[in-house]
């Protein structure tokens, strides 16, 4: 199962130190997701993800997963069991997908 971590820093001045902390936190989760590792840093937000690829093996499904307009970022640990049905509904409503996994379905469901 994937691993997620993150934090919000009250100070924007410690970017280099916060980045070290995020890297350390994420690396400590490597055993939970050996297939990919990802980071997101913007302003005071720091997110990390380690991926265990099960459903969609494509690198485009790596996390943190960023929406097409870059206004939303998703990291999650789990599996959306009915994502194929949800995907069908979203497709019927005109949404398009770049991946075949549940991560993009989750984010687009939120946006919809």
pLDDT at residue 25 in the model: 93
Note the helical H segments in 1-112.
Answer: 15-27, 83-92, 102-111
Which one is catalytic: 2, 5, 22, 90? 2
Mean pLDDT of 22-35: 89
Tens of pLDDT along 76-110? Answer: 988 889 999 999 999 999 999 999 989 999 999 99
The CATH number assigned to the domain with range 3-111 reads 3.60.20.10
- Report the candidate in 5, 58, 60, 66 with the shortest Cα–Cα distance to residue 30: 5
Q: φ, ψ for residue 74 (rounded to 5)?
A: -125, 130
5 is catalytic: no
Tens of pLDDT along 32-91? Answer: 888 889 999 998 999 999 998 887 788 888 899 999 999 999 999 888 899 999 999 999
pLDDT at residue 15 in the model: 84
């Amino acid at each position: 199962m994937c691993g997620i971590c993150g934090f919000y820093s009250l100070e924007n001045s410690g970017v280099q130190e916060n980045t070290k902390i995020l890297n350390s936190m994420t690396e400590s989760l490597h055993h939970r997701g050996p297939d990919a590792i990802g980071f997101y840093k913007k302003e005071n937000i720091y997110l990390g993800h380690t991926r265990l690829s099960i459903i969609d093996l494509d690198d485009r499904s790596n996390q943190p997963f960023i929406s097409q307009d870059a206004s939303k970022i998703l990291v999650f640990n789990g599996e959306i069991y009915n994502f194929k049905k949800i995907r069908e509904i979203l497709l019927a409503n005109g949404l398009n997908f770049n991946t075949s996994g549940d991560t993009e379905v989750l984010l687009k469901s939120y946006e919809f």
